[in-house]
Structure 1
Amino acid sequence: MERRYDIDWIRVIAIGLLLVYHVAIGFQPWGVMIGFIGNDQPWQSLWIPMTMLNVWRIPLLFFVSGMGVYFALQRRSWVQLVKERAQRILLPFAFGMVAIVPIHISLWQRYYQIDMSYVPGPGHLWFLGNLFCYVVILSPIFYYLKRQEGRQLAHWVARVLRTPLGLLPMFALFIVEVVILKPVPFELYATTWHGFFLGLLAFFFGFLFVWCGSSFWNLLVRWRWLFLVTAAGLFILRLLLFQPMAPNYLLSVESNCWIMAIFALGYRYLNRASRALHYLSQAAYPVYILHMAFLYWGSMLIFPLDIAAPIQFGLVLLFTIAGSFLLYELVIRRTRFLRPLFGLKARAAKNRKEK
């Protein structure tokens, strides 16, 4: 089976953007209201790129996660898939709730001089809990679709997805989700029903897009500029006419147009292997789990300094990335019993290469 390096690249880039976005929250006046350490020097112009990212960065990760399940299912039954995902997702989620999330909460308490207490919880790892639920719910359907590859159903879906009109049912389902649930704001994904059902749809269609074969990806490449121009146009319309909040159905369309454009550009330009990708694709998951602790630690050290907000932003971002990667490289990657706790495969031999 051909390796899809573009999907690996998009996953790495999406997690990188997640780190940047989380650092930027500390420079918004409302950051402290959602549990981040807030800077006394807000950098509000950051909100323009943040609001562009915010409508698609989390849905993109759900799409990519569904695609990953397709490849995992090629070598497993659906029962084996659930067991494997329990080890790769549920174990890090449970460990992170009791051992990682309380660290950044205690740093927040210390910074704001609140009585220190141990507070376990999903925190930024809520995403993992959702993913495991999707695997349990959808794996029988995915297994059925796997058995239909090369048959009439697969050929019919591939024919439907040869034109942009074939994507209209998917766009419609995402619109129905926001019309029914009425999320306020649209971007509130964490531990909400909106985030759960939006993620469920994205996870399913991510699997479906890889399952139906190259015809869909060729469609995306042919129409990539249509998706990109439509997404950019809706974003500009949102800035000019709908601030602070556009209708949810427009945000849903904009989100999916950005995502389709990203997949098209990735398939066209990023579908190639590299040593950097091999390393980053392994590191991305542990870095995602770790980064909030280093973000809060860096904020505690850097925010009190009398320097401009953009410089503080760069320093906190550097501290977060460097701290997360150093701990991954020097400790987690090299310690066999820690690897499964951060979603990595346990090595059978000391020098075995990761696959």
Structure 2
Amino acid sequence: MLEREAGGRATRRYDLDWLRSMAVLLLIPFHAARIFDVWEPFYVKDAQSSAGLSYLVALMGPWQMPLLFFIAGSAAWFSLGRRDPSRYLAERFRRLLIPFLFGNLVIVPPQGYLARMREPGYAASYLEFVGGYFRDFRDLTGYFGSFTPGHLWFILFLFVISCSVLPLALAWRGEAGRRWLGRLASWVGRPGAILLLAVPLAAMKLLPEAGGKNPFFYWLLFVYGYVLMSEAAWQRAVDRHRRIALAVGAVTSAGLLVIWGSRPGWASSVVGDLLVGLMETVNGWAWVIALVGLAHAHLDVAHPVLRYASEAAYPFYILHQTVLVAVGWFVVRWPVGVALKWALICVVGGGLTLVAYEVLVRRSRLKRFLFGMKPTALKSAAAE
């Protein structure tokens, strides 16, 4: 639940609810585009790649998951305002670890099976495949049929990060911590200062990765989201910088397009790689600030659609990639153009994901538990 305190009472942060729901929905065109991009393998790949969809993936990549981690950190501030640490950890276990384990047993393996089905002559049944799947750890991407957490890496990272940050998060809620956050908020309010927070993020990217993802980078984004909710001065700084952040995001996106398109030799050097990585980080952070600021200015309103979307967003996330891969497995064989294939995968895959949530998850108390939802439908605007 994303709330704020105002005049001694809690009010909704509808803007962050909207932003989270839209970020999850945008994963449909993003992961559908992965079937046609040139960057890396995927569970299903079309024989014909697309430069346009490759650029779509590249442009969304720097900010989409960072935005979700940022919003998750914001939600943690309010969660700890209503729960003691033990209840907070119990809720993290129920909301994150259980869906992660269930998803890895039931939701993700079909993606690996479809990846194996691409191999010429592979004719094992699904049960035969699963028998070896949970013993095959040679490649955690899973793009060739080995065990993988798939897109649920986000849930695992979120569980570890939200638990590991707890001592620091509690310290910041104390008197001394609030004073320190207040001084930091004063600095962030200076012109351009909030954009400089991209530098620590870039430094985090130099630390070791886990399964191709950097937990330290996402840890800091979670912390940024948590800290933003601690002082109104932080949100004011975001609001004042939203236009310049939008400009920085647009300029760096254009620069990255030029680099990706021309593939200059310097970009393959160590220094060039660091510079491109820094540009991607600045780009992603600028878009996060711009989107949070724009949402606060224009989307801080309740709506019946938001009530449904906020509750559906989490199970929709868990389900969506498996559905898209299954739809894509059939569509890539059709003799139509790439643009039409991508559009069909988006529309059919997104629609079937919503149907699966509505029919298989939403009305079942057991499924709601396994997908990390509250036992009954929400009466307020959004799920926590």
- What CA deviation, in whole Å up to 9, does each residue of 1:325-349 have, x standing for no partner? 10111120001111011110113xx
Gaps of 5+ in 1: 184-188
Contact 1:77/1:143 (8 A) holds in 2: no
Q: Distance in 2 between matches of 1:276 and 1:104?
A: 31
- What CA deviation, in whole Å up to 9, does each residue of 1:220-248 have, x standing for no partner? 22221111111111121222246445621
Which residue identity lines up with residue 61 of structure 2 in the other structure? N
1:239 and 2:253 correspond: no
Choose which of 275, 281, 302 in structure 2 pairs with 1:252. Answer: 281
Choose which of 211, 220, 230 in structure 2 pairs with 1:201. Answer: 220
Residue matched to 2:211: 191
Residue matched to 2:18: 9
1:230 and 2:259 correspond: no
- What CA deviation, in whole Å up to 9, does each residue of 1:240-284 have, x standing for no partner? 246445621121111111111111101111111111111011111
Residue matched to 1:19: 28
- What CA deviation, in whole Å up to 9, does each residue of 1:141-165 have, x standing for no partner? 1122223399533432332222244
Secondary structure at the counterpart of residue 2 of structure 1 = strand
1:28 and 2:5 correspond: no
- What CA deviation, in whole Å up to 9, does each residue of 1:186-212 have, x standing for no partner? xxx8723x5211100100111001112
Change (3 A) 1:253 1:30: closer
- What CA deviation, in whole Å up to 9, does each residue of 1:27-86 have, x standing for no partner? 12455x2x3211123222222232111111111111111111111111101221111011
1:219 CA drift (Å): 1.9
Q: Distance in 1 between matches of 2:293 and 2:58?
A: 22
Residue matched to 1:212: 231
Gaps of 5+ in 2: 1-9, 135-147, 268-274
Secondary structure at the counterpart of residue 214 of structure 2 = helix
1:46-85 mapped onto 2 (5 Å cutoff): 46-85=53-92
1:117-132 mapped onto 2 (5 Å cutoff): 117-118=129-130, 119-120=133-134, 121-132=148-159
Contact 2:243/2:290 (8 A) holds in 1: yes
Contact 2:245/2:287 (8 A) holds in 1: yes
Contact 1:127/1:190 (8 A) holds in 2: no
Choose which of 175, 189, 202 in structure 1 pairs with 2:202. Answer: 175
TM-score normalised by L of structure 1: 0.89
Contact 1:95/1:341 (8 A) holds in 2: yes
1:128 CA drift (Å): 0.7
Q: Distance in 2 between matches of 1:173 and 1:195?
A: 14
1:107 and 2:110 correspond: no
Change (3 A) 1:10 1:148: farther
Change (3 A) 1:236 1:90: same
Change (3 A) 1:241 1:29: closer
Q: Distance in 1 between matches of 2:176 and 2:37?
A: 48
Which residue identity lines up with residue 42 of structure 1 in the other structure? S
1:340 and 2:358 correspond: no
Contact 1:89/1:128 (8 A) holds in 2: yes
Choose which of 134, 141, 162 in structure 2 pairs with 1:135. Answer: 162
Which residue identity lines up with residue 26 of structure 1 in the other structure? I
Change (3 A) 1:143 1:343: same
Contact 2:192/2:241 (8 A) holds in 1: no
Which residue identity lines up with residue 304 of structure 1 in the other structure? R
Residue matched to 1:186: none
Contact 2:36/2:54 (8 A) holds in 1: no
Q: Distance in 2 between matches of 1:18 and 1:262?
A: 16
Q: Distance in 1 between matches of 2:97 and 2:367?
A: 15
1:25 CA drift (Å): 0.7
Identify which range, 233-242 or 315-324, moves more after superposition. Answer: 233-242
Q: Distance in 2 between matches of 1:96 and 1:256?
A: 30
Secondary structure at the counterpart of residue 247 of structure 1 = helix
Contact 2:74/2:226 (8 A) holds in 1: yes
Q: Distance in 2 between matches of 1:168 and 1:331?
A: 43
- Residue identity over aligned pairs, in percent, reads 28
Number of positions where the alignment pairs a residue of Structure 1 with one of Structure 2:
341
1:155 and 2:182 correspond: yes
Secondary structure at the counterpart of residue 153 of structure 1 = helix
Contact 1:291/1:321 (8 A) holds in 2: yes
Which residue identity lines up with residue 284 of structure 1 in the other structure? A
Q: Distance in 2 between matches of 1:352 and 1:60?
A: 24
Q: Distance in 2 between matches of 1:268 and 1:226?
A: 15
1:146 and 2:179 correspond: no
Q: Distance in 1 between matches of 2:25 and 2:37?
A: 19
Secondary structure at the counterpart of residue 365 of structure 2 = coil
Q: Distance in 2 between matches of 1:63 and 1:151?
A: 20
Contact 2:66/2:221 (8 A) holds in 1: yes
TM-score normalised by L of structure 2: 0.83
Identify which range, 78-87 or 105-114, moves more after superposition. Answer: 105-114
Residue matched to 1:305: 334
